[in-house]
């Protein structure tokens, strides 16, 4: 799946910002004289998703990756910035659907599977007669590797992996061109995870889908994506080609993430574990938000926010050190 970069991007996000108001209730603010408190969940990020490709956003909990997914699907309105979808079928903007993390919470336990999968068809009035809908539901269930008779059952009769297949069938019902997947396999066991990932790859080839994939699991991300964006406290710190990012990580945070992945083939039992924790997004550190954990931080890092630079090969990095290295190399 190389060469997708040349095509027009399916989706472009420009200077996206999302701020949540997490202030105390009005009365306590007045009585206790507390100021308003704002949480910058997504802080000025820009990225593009190649058509027919897969961009993954990785990061630790609280870094804002799920907020990005919700912004893209329109479940949140951005505080500022722009979202642009390329024209899809019939010239209208690409149609978007979402697959959620928890297959136990995202399916209504009181509905039969056939009704769950048919809901988007009915809601968007895509098909008219109930016969058409029933045929389409059967077809969808078979596409995701379930049998047509499974439509009569309820969600609790299925295992986690099968439920995630139902979520995928539901997402595919309206024939979307762009799928946002928020940690679709993190609630699943590895053997089941492999089944679901294989299915998602197969569907991508079959229907020409474009994926925005949100995950914290670097090995899953490596398997699925063409490009990877690494987020830390609401910002993208590095974005680049999957192979390039794994072979040649530029940002110290990306290096930390790659080092801490347990490697089953070559377990590193005696590694020195980098200290530190993700700071609270309510009180992010000054300058580069990674500087308190960064092993190579310099004076500038705590004062200035690093700009995102595009390097040769298309990797984008926000780090003062990388910037200075380029500057010294140029002299």
Partner 1 sequence: MGETMDQPILEVRNLTVEFPGRHGTVAALSDVSLDIRAGEILGVVGESGAGKSMTGLAIQGLLERPGHISGGEIWLENRRIDTLDDYEMEKIRGRKIGAIFQDPLTSLNPLFTVGAQLSETIRQHLNMSKSQAKARAIELLGEVGIPSPDERVNHYPHQFSGGMRQRVVIALALAASPKLVIADEPTTALDVSIQAQIISLLRKLCKEKRTAVMLVTHDMGVIAEAADRVAVMYAGRLIEVGSVNQVLRASAHPYTRGLMASIPALAARVERLNQIDGSMPRLDAIPDGCAFNPRCKSVGPRCIREQPELMPAGDGASACWLNAGGTA
Which residues contact partner 1 by CB under 8 A? 60-61, 159-162, 189-195, 197-198, 201, 216-220, 222-223, 242-243, 246, 256-257, 260-265, 267-269, 271, 273-278
276 torsion bin: left (phi>0), alpha (psi -120 to 50), beta (else): left
24/39 Cα distance (integer angstroms): 12
Q: Cβ of residue 203: shortest distance to partner 1, in angstroms?
A: 13
**Residue 244, beta-bridge partner list:** none
Closest separation between CB of residue 146 and partner 1, Å?
A: 12
In the bound state with partner 1, the residue whose beta carbon lies nearer, of 108 and 280, is 280
Residues 6 or more apart whose CB falls under 8 angstroms from that of 49 comprise 9, 10, 11, 12, 55, 178, 210, 211, 212, 227
Which of 127/278 has CB closer to partner 1?
A: 278
Cβ-based nearer residue to partner 1, 173 or 236: 236
**Which of 219/248 has CB closer to partner 1?**
219
Contact yes or no for 227/55 (Cβ under 8 A): yes
H/E element, 214? strand 210-215
Compute the least distance from the CB of residue 275 to partner 1, in Å.
7
For partner 1, the closer CB: 171 or 196: 196
Q: Least Å distance between CB 195 and partner 1?
A: 5
CB of 267 to partner 1, least distance (A): 4
How many whole angstroms separate alpha carbon 249 and alpha carbon 41?
24
Whole-angstrom Cα distance, residue 149 to residue 100?
Answer: 24
Q: Choose between 73 and 186: whose C-beta lies nearer to partner 1.
A: 186
The H or E element that residue 323 is part of is: helix 320-330
Q: Least CB distance from residue 165 to partner 1, whole Å?
A: 11
């Amino acid at each position: 799946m190389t060469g997708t970069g040349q095509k027009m991007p399916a989706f472009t996000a420009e200077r996206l910002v999302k701020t949540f108001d997490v202030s105390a209730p009005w009365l306590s603010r007045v009585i206790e004289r507390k100021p308003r408190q704002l949480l910058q969940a997504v802080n000025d990020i820009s990225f593009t998703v190649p058509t027919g490709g897969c961009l993954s956003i990785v990061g630790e909990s609280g870094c804002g990756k799920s907020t990005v997914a919700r912004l893209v699907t329109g479940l949140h309105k951005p505080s500022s910035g722009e979202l642009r979808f390329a024209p899809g079928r019939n010239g209208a903007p690409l149609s978007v659907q979402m697959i959620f993390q928890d297959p136990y919470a995202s399916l209504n336990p009181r509905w039969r599977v056939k009704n769950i999968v048919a809901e988007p068809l009915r809601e968007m009035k895509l098909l008219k007669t109930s016969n058409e809908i029933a045929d389409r539901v059967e077809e969808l269930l078979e596409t995701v590797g379930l049998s047509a008779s499974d439509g009569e059952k309820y969600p609790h009769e299925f295992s986690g992996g099968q439920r995630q297949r139902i979520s995928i069938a539901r997402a595919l019902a309206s024939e979307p061109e762009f799928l946002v997947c928020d940690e679709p396999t993190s609630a699943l066991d590895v053997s089941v995870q492999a089944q679901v990932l294989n299915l998602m790859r197969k569907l991508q080839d079959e229907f020409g889908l474009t994926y925005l994939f949100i995950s914290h699991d670097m090995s899953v991300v490596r398997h699925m994506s063409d490009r990877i964006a690494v987020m830390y406290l609401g910002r993208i710190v590095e974005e680049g080609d999957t192979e390039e990012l794994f072979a040649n990580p530029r940002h110290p945070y990306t290096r930390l993430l790659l080092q801490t992945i347990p490697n089953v083939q070559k377990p590193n039992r005696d590694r020195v574990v980098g200290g530190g924790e993700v700071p609270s997004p309510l009180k992010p550190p000054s300058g580069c938000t990674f500087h308190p954990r960064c092993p190579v931080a310099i004076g500038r890092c705590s004062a200035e926010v690093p700009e995102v630079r595009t390097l040769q090969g298309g990797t984008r990095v926000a780090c003062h050190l990388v910037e200075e290295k380029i500057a010294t190399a140029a002299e």
